[in-house]
Structure 1
Amino acid sequence: MRTTRDVAFDQAALSVSISGVAMKTREFVSMLATGIVPTPPHVAALRFSAALFLGLTGAACMVVALYGVRGDMPQMLVTPLFWIKVAFPLAVVGASLSIVMRVSRPGADATMAWIALAIPLALVWVVALVVIVAAPATLRLQLVLGNTWQVCTMNIAVLSVPTFIAVFWAMKGLAPTQPVIAGAAAGLLSGAQAVLVYMLYCVEMTVPFWGVWYVLGMLVPTVVGAVLGPRLLRW
């Protein structure tokens, strides 16, 4: 039969055990907190700014080394259609950068960024359709194919490599929770910046050409990014 002394002893032992667990919990939390330093503000913006700068520099060097710069570039700089041509990939760069920065942070909402991405794509396709319908039937295929359709997509994919590597490096240091989407967004950003740099060389000046071959050029690194995302962006 248990005595009052036995019960008191058991209670004391239980109290000591609970105190020990609480002490170990505090020690464990303290150990986890040791060495933690505050995350610098705007770390994502700084990483992606560096990535885009490195990618842009690398792609520009590749254009000059592999393809050269079109000889009539001074005249193009005062041609309104050329700046419309530049505006298309520039808008995609801005929208895809917004997506990339959001999917690199857990819980961030990228809905508006996806809508912003759809706008330039929809505009270029609508204008391309209008141009094709308005053109004589004998010229429609030429408006789409231009003179460089065989190499355009490949050239853009090649020029996307520096930005692709740099943006994946930037994302790897953050916390993307959807690696497929994050990888695709990184690929799209690299493809759009490659198109922007490709303007230094490309002579095509028809909207239907842009809507087909420039978009396909962006799509190649996008697909590659989606495939590599789960492998390269895992925590």
Structure 2
Amino acid sequence: MKTDDFIRVLAADRRRHRPLRNTLLMALPVALALSALALWLTLGFRPDLMQSLTLPLSLARFLVTGALGFAGLYVSLNLARPNGRKGAGLGLLLLIACVALGLMAWAYITTPPDARLMATYGKSMFTCLLTIPVLSIVPAIVILTTLRQGATTVPALTGFVAGLAGSGLGAAVYAMYCTEDSPLFYVTWYGLAILAVAATSALVGSRVLRW
């Protein structure tokens, strides 16, 4: 290619791309609204939803899953940049995991031994394991699609963290239905559902985020 031709190509490629963060800020609320609508039309919201928010252990479900979702977004956006620090924010994800495990340990200690099994398995284990991944599909797709506009050098890891973000937010949506307030239940089964989505997203990300 001649120098003049190369200059013309560079000049033609001066389009300003919207930052990935702005794209997510526009698309993700719509995705979460669709997930919430799907939950409301199928399972509905728990009747005492507003009252449950005054109970610390019940409120913790929203705080932990929401924190995981937003922390995952922060880390995945950083990983989407080729010059981003690979470890930036990963400590935050670890901290959230430690908080969740701390809640679980506290619940185990304070729950009578003969009630621990029921508190762990609850009455909606299978509903939880099925519904959280379903509610996470649209948010995870939105996040992965947005990250494709980046240039990650670790596509599998980026996909995994994107899956944590999407499923963390999906779990927060599911919490509007769930009546299981013990951390023995929601740390166990929410956690397994979230990890399943993240593992799937890692596989998808290793393909679609490669460049």
- TM-score scaled by length of structure 1: 0.83
Unaligned runs of 5+ in 2: none
1:128 maps to 2:104: yes
Deviation track 1:150-190 (CA, whole Å, cap 9, x = no partner) reads 22111100100110111111111222222111111111111
* Bigger relative contact order (CA 8 A; separation at least 6): 2
Give yes or no for contact 1:55–1:164 (8 Å, CA) kept in 2. no
Match of residue 177, structure 2, among 201, 211, 216: 201
Residue of structure 1 in register with 2:201 after alignment: 225
Where do residues 1-235 of structure 1 align in structure 2 (5 Å cutoff)? Answer: 25-40=2-17, 43-235=19-211
**Identical counterparts, % of pairs:** 24
Q: Matches of 1:39 and 1:150 in 2, distance apart? A: 46
Equivalent AA in structure 1 for residue 202 of structure 2: A
- What whole-Å deviation, never above 9, does each CA across 1:89-142 have from its counterpart, x for those lacking one? 111012101111111110201424110011121111122123213432211111
Aligned equivalents of 1:100, 1:51: Cα separation in 2:
16
Name whichever of 210-219 and 80-89 sits farther off: 80-89
What SS class does the counterpart of residue 12 from structure 2 fall into? coil
Q: Tell me the distance in 2 between the aligned counterparts of 1:170 and 1:28.
A: 32
Post-superposition offset of 1:25: 4.9
Higher Cα radius of gyration: 1
SS in 1 for 2:13: coil
Aligned partners of 1:132 and 1:143 also within 8 Å: no
Matching residue's letter, 1:155: T
Query: RMSD of aligned C-alpha atoms?
Result: 1.8
User: Is the CA contact 1:54–1:162 (under 8 Å) kept in the aligned structure 2?
Assistant: no
The CA distance in 2 between the partners of 1:115 and 1:197, in whole Å, is 25
CA distance in 2, matches of 1:135, 1:73: 23
Q: Please give the alpha-carbon distance, in whole angstroms, between the structure 1 residues aligned to 2:209 and 2:4.
A: 32
Say whether the 8 Å CA contact 2:132–2:167 is kept in structure 1.
yes
Q: Which runs of 5+ in 1 are unaligned?
A: 1-23
Q: Distance in 1 between matches of 2:106 and 2:175?
A: 23
* Letter matched to residue 30 of structure 1: I
Quick one: which amino acid aligns to residue 104 of structure 1? A
* Residue deviations 1:8-67 (CA, integer Å, cap 9, x gap): xxxxxxxxxxxxxxxx65224313313121534x61111121232122112111111221
| Cα distance in 2 for residues equivalent to 1:81 and 1:208 | 11
Instruction: Say if 2:76 and 2:162, in contact at 8 Å, map to a contact too.
Output: yes
**Residues 75-96 of structure 1: CA deviation (Å, up to 9, x unaligned):** 2243333322211111101210
Count of residues paired in the alignment? 211
